[in-house]
Structure 1
Amino acid sequence: MATENKTPSTLIVALAFATVYIVWGSTYFFIQKALHGLPPFFLGAFRFIIAALLMLGWSLSQGEKVFSYKIAKPAIITGLLLLFVGNGVIIWVEQFLPSAMVAIMVSSAPLWFVLLDKPKWTENFSNKTTIIGLLIGFAGVILLFYEKIVATMSSLNSSRDLFAMALVVIGSMAWAGGSLYSKYNSVSNSATVNSTWQMFAAGVAFIPGIFLSGESKTLDLASVPADAWMATAYLVVFGSIAGFSAYVWLLKVQPATKVSTYAYVNPVVAVILGMFFAGESIIPLQISGLIIILGSVLLINLRHYRKPKPTVSRTY
């Protein structure tokens, strides 16, 4: 998905947001599914290297300029921050923490976007609707998972779980920082080229962990259940290639605070998918959370919907 020096159509932007919102909302479930058969470092390396190879083939077939140090350098740095640290933390902690708790903590990302986006400080902090929308959205996510939070907090009695929660916060900061670095420093206008290098960098970075953690000694690929492989295939095709490419492209053409709303909408999608495909029930408190989250996204984007006031010219 390459960009040109023209404003993208509203339809393309809407489709990209829909991809990030819906696809990424389902990845928490599929990551846990994949972890039932594959260890975390192997999953990260396999997922991103396979996705990178597929995207490399596509980029070369389209005549894209891929092998350039100038293009690769910022993309590699971005990939390490986003996918190795940010996403890698999620993969690792979901061995111990419930996916709902992880989704809650990841939803702090939009707040980090505002705090770390220095070039936009004046614009963001002077816009009350953006700040209020971010805070309301975070509150809505907490309402959405309130019961699960209470149940999880009562069972968190080990230092390992507390360490895992701290890592999720660090991962959210790294994700926001990497996203902003990509927005302001990427050289190529091609989201596929940028994503290719980002995923290669992350995939290679996961490899040492396979050996240091002992996964290489215990992993038996022949015994991995089919469900785990299918979940991994979903993560490669939809989570990495479709979702991540759409995200990287959106960062180039949309305000970072607007793109960051994925972190509020993803838990909403996860709950809705749970209702339809896993038979989960939803209580009135969760419905309130859903409404509040969607309202916060509207509030955050309010200034983009307003028409500029016409300038009145005066003659004397």
Structure 2
Amino acid sequence: MPVPSAPAAPSSAERGRVWASLFVVWVLWSTSYLALGHLVTLLPPLLAVALRNALAAVALIGVAVLCRQPAPGRRQLLRPALVGLLLVGLGESLLSLGLQTASPGRSAVLYAAVPILTSVLLACSGQRLNRGQTAGAVLGVCGVALLNLDLLRPGQAGGPRGEGLVLASAVCAALAAVLATRAGRSPHRMPESALWAAGVQLLVGASVAGLGGLVRGEVWPGWPPLQAWAALAWLSLVLSAGGYAAYNHLQRVSGPLVAASYAYVNPPVALALAWLLTGEALDARELAAVAIVLAGVLTTVLAGRVNRP
């Protein structure tokens, strides 16, 4: 019998695509907090979320049609619609509202708790966590508490804080991740085409955010300034459509561990960008909290690999 040959080493072109995808999810995704924080000063927050994700949905579905990817059936629309409701309709809307008062750097650190919250929610639904996941969850909770220690000081009351809205957004994102993970082989599983699944999610989320903006009485301010259109184009076409494509490429080629690495790379990059561009700085306590949160996220992501078949 012929001896089976060793797997071919990835070509230089494939390695280039992997590094390009990593640059998108590591660096470009880190700018989303700054861009969104700037956008909500120019446009109504929920209507901006609706327009951003509607544009991204049209782009993704258009690419799926051009690539002749199979459209999902009616039964396969329920799951991505629910995920889009949680992730975009509620999650991104709460994040936009929170960024009206919360700083982009702190928001990036708080949102990094999504893998930790996902592990906690999976444990609440009956899935057993290994020691690494439990340790990561404990570290993450301690780091988030330390980062927001100033909220417990006297005189900090008086309405919901932006950090609380960002944390609520992270909870919605974790619920969406659990819902997508538990799809299984049910009749309502996610569509086979990742582009169609993302397009449906973004379209449903955009509809919910737009409805929320109308309920809040948000009014579109005529013809927005050029800065608003630039931020919308960056958020919808580069970060949503392009970032999603890069993330799925990493999942398919490099595995989920590499793809999930954005969760602990984005916060320090976002903090560095916020310091360079807006002068946002952290004191010693906040820097220690950031380190604890990142350690918890890294521990959670690495420990999650143990439970995979």
TM-score range, shorter chain: 0.7 to 0.9
Matches within 5 A, 1:26-45: 26-45=31-50
TM-score by length of 1: 0.73
Q: Kindly report structure 1 stretches of 4+ aligned residues shifted beyond 6 Å.
A: 9-15, 151-155, 248-253, 258-261
Which digits, 9 at most, give the CA deviation of each residue in 1:269-294, with x for residues without a partner?
Answer: 21122244445556666665565555
Q: How far off is 1:202 after superposition?
A: 0.8
Query: 1:46–1:203: 8 Å Cα contact kept in structure 2?
Result: yes
Q: Which stretches in structure 1 are left out of the alignment for 5+ residues?
A: 1-8, 307-316
- Report the count of equivalent residues: 285
Identity %: 22
Matches within 5 A, 1:75-86: 75-86=80-91
Query: Which stretch of structure 1 is more off in the superposition, 40-49 or 289-298?
Result: 289-298
What residue identity is the alignment partner of 1:191?
Answer: A
CA distance in 1, matches of 2:249, 2:141: 25
Which residue in the other structure is 2:204 paired with?
Answer: 201
CA distance in 2, matches of 1:120, 1:16: 34
Pick aligned residue for 2:182 from 184, 209, 218: 184
Matches within 5 A, 1:3-152: 19-118=24-123, 121-122=127-128, 125=129, 127-140=130-143, 150=150
Q: How far off is 1:296 after superposition?
A: 4.2
SS in 2 for 1:215: coil
Q: How far off is 1:67 after superposition?
A: 4.9
Which digits, 9 at most, give the CA deviation of each residue in 1:9-53, with x for residues without a partner?
Answer: 996788666544433322111111111211012101100111111
What residue identity is the alignment partner of 1:77?
Answer: L
Q: Summarize the Cα distance change of 1:285–1:208 in structure 2 as closer, same or farther, 3 Å threshold.
A: closer
Q: Summarize the Cα distance change of 1:208–1:278 in structure 2 as closer, same or farther, 3 Å threshold.
A: closer
What's the RMSD between the two structures over aligned residues? 3.7
Query: Which stretch of structure 1 is more off in the superposition, 202-211 or 46-55?
Result: 202-211
SS in 1 for 2:191: coil
What residue identity is the alignment partner of 2:239?
Answer: G
TM-score by length of 2: 0.75
Q: Summarize the Cα distance change of 1:81–1:17 in structure 2 as closer, same or farther, 3 Å threshold.
A: farther
Do residues 220 (structure 1) and 221 (structure 2) align?
yes
CA distance in 2, matches of 1:304, 1:97: 30
